[in-house]
Every structure is written in C-alpha cells, then in structure tokens.
Structure 1
Amino acid sequence: MPVYHSAFNSTDNYRVIGGIPLLPLKTKVKGPAPLMGSSTEDDAIDEALDLFRANSFFRNFEIKGAGDRLLIYLILFISECLSKLNRHTSQAEASKSLYTLAVSNFLIPGDSSFPLHSLYPAPDSKVDADLLKQYLTQIRTEMAARMVERVFVDGTPSKWWLCFQKRKFMGKSF
C-alpha cells in the first residue's frame, strides 16, 4: 500500500526555508504566511488532517518534495496534539491546551535536537530561521484550532481520532 504524498510538492513558486515551503493558508492567525485566495481549496493544514490517519500507519516515507517535508512536520504535530487531547474532556479546555502547545517553545529544522535533522536542511541565515519559526508558529496555531473542531464532535472527543494518539509516524515524535 503506497504512502500518501503532498499535493504541494510541485509548488516551485513559494519560498522554501529549512526544507519547508511557506505555503498560503486559510487562516485568521497573524503571521508571515500568505492568505489563500479561495476558501474552497484545501490548504496544507486541511491536507495534513485528511492524510494523517492513513499515513500514521507507515514507518517509512519517501520525500518527493518540500510539500512532503511540511506534511511530515504537520503529521508529527497532530500526533503531539492528540496526546494532549486525551487528558481533556471539554472543548474549551482542549482548545486552551492546544493553543499553549502551539505557541510554546519548539525546535525548528537546523536545531541540533530537532528529531528529523537528517531530513531537513538548516536555514541559511538567522533571519530565515526567525521567519521559519514565525511561519511554524502560525501554522501550529491554526492546526491546533482546526484539530479541536475536528476531534470534538458534539462536544465530546471522537474515539476515531483519539485511537491514533499512540501511533508514531515513522517511529518519531517531537
């Protein structure tokens, strides 16, 4: 069974920092990401949420482009979010907890302790590293908000999402 790759692999017209493309997002969170023109198209966050459950079963993942690197990062972040959501029974508590997780201090490609440092090149300069950190903070914050919307169906956590909390994509975690 083949792994599902990102549809954003062939996007050469976006800036790539540390192997991660700065793709447009459908978001209200402030940050360096360009706004997506159409609200009907899926952005990178929608794609990661749609492919998470299928891809979480794979231990190997062949990277075919920069979009796959962003997909890997987002899948690992979704796994981290699901492990936090297990402890919360209300949607408001879960939202606060995931927001705190999204804006907390985290490692970026190029840091020596980054779990996938062999797959991601380091940013070229300190300015690029700061821009990447801002972009990842924005995308993590938006992902946290959308995770709560998807996982909490009718005010209770969906067992069909929480059953994936112990799965480790590629055997890695943040």
Structure 2
Amino acid sequence: MPAYHSTFLSESDTSNRTVGNMVLLPFKTKFRGPSYPTEQEYDIVEEVLDLFRANSFFKNFEIKGPADRVLIYGILFVSECLSKLNKTVGLKEATRILNNISLESFALPGDIGFPLSSMYLPPANKNEAELLRGYLQQLRQELSDRLLKRIYVASDVPSKYWLAFSKRRFMNKSL
C-alpha cells in the first residue's frame, strides 16, 4: 500500500510561490507570517494532521511535487511535538511546551543541521531564506495550535490515540 500524498500537488505548480523546491501554500492562521490566509476549510495544516497517523507507518515516501515536501516537514514536526508530550501533561502545560517548540530556532534546507538535506533544495538567496524561515515558523505555530485542539478534545487529558504515535518515526527521520 503506498503512502498518502498531498492533495495540493496540482495547486503547487501554478498559483503559489516556490522557495527552493518547497511551495508556500496558503492556510488559515491567526499567526503572523508570509502565508496569505485562505477561505478554504481544508488547507495544508488540516491535511498534515489528517494524514499524520496513516503516513507515520511508512519508512519510504516518494515525493511527487513541492506540496509533498511541505507535507513531509509538517508530519515530522507533528511527530516531534508528540514526542514531547506524555499522558500526565495537562492542556496548559502542553500549550507552553508546543509554543516553545514552534518558536525555537530550527535549521533550513541547506543548513548543516537540517535532517532532510538530500530531498530539499536550499533557498537561492538570503531573502528567500528569510521568507522560508517565516513560512515554516508560521506553519509550525499553526500546526501546534491545531494539534492541541485535536489531542485535548474533551478533557485536560491527552488522547491516547494520538500519543500512541509518539514513538513512530516517519521515514526514520526526525527534526
């Protein structure tokens, strides 16, 4: 059974800006950044959260376009977020932990510490690097915010169905 790919592959070719070989897809957000908001209910952030559990079982992933690279980065970030949480963490503490993770410094494609350097092209110049950093920061913030809403649905206790995936490693990689 093949892995699930992004439904935004067709959109990534025409209307959106590309930095390196990663497309900057719009998504609904309340955080500041270079991504322009969209009115669509289903965006790349929802897709990452929907496909995370299914794709986390795969060790290989064929990249079919720039939108798949955004999907891969998002899945690896969600995996990192889940690895920092456990059964005893309440909503308030989890919010603090995930906000710190999403705001901490991270490596970009082309940097020494970036784990997926073979799949991502580095930005062409410093302006593109800053644009990509801002986009990924905004994506990380929105992913952590929506992830919290899915994990802590009814109570102050995280969902065991999400925490069960904290030890899975998509493509044997981690951010």
TM over 0.5: yes
**Further displaced range: 147-156 or 49-58:** 147-156
* Residue aligning to 2:166: 165
* Residue aligning to 2:104: 104
Shift of 1:15: 0.5
Relative to structure 1, the CA distance from residue 68 to residue 119 in structure 2 (aligned partners, 3 Å threshold; closer, same or farther) is: same
Relative to structure 1, the CA distance from residue 91 to residue 17 in structure 2 (aligned partners, 3 Å threshold; closer, same or farther) is: same
Contact 1:88–1:94 (Cα < 8 Å) also in 2: no
Relative to structure 1, the CA distance from residue 88 to residue 126 in structure 2 (aligned partners, 3 Å threshold; closer, same or farther) is: farther
Whole-angstrom distance in 2 between the partners of 1:42 and 1:27: 12
* Residue aligning to 2:140: 140
Relative to structure 1, the CA distance from residue 27 to residue 43 in structure 2 (aligned partners, 3 Å threshold; closer, same or farther) is: same
Whole-angstrom distance in 1 between the partners of 2:164 and 2:98: 18
* Residue aligning to 2:157: 156
Contact 1:14–1:21 (Cα < 8 Å) also in 2: yes
CA offsets, 1:67-114, max 9 Å, x none? 100000000000000011227521011011101100100011111221
> 1:2-41, aligned counterparts within 5 Å?
2-11=2-11, 12=13, 13-38=15-40, 41=41
Residue-pair matches, total: 172
Whole-angstrom distance in 2 between the partners of 1:6 and 1:25: 14
* Residue aligning to 1:83: 83
Shift of 1:173: 0.4
Contact 1:110–1:117 (Cα < 8 Å) also in 2: yes
RMSD: 1.1
> TM-score scaled to structure 2, two decimals?
0.95
- 1:117 aligned partner, one-letter code: S
Which contiguous aligned blocks of 4+ residues in structure 1 show a shift greater than 6 angstroms? none
Whole-angstrom distance in 2 between the partners of 1:55 and 1:107: 23
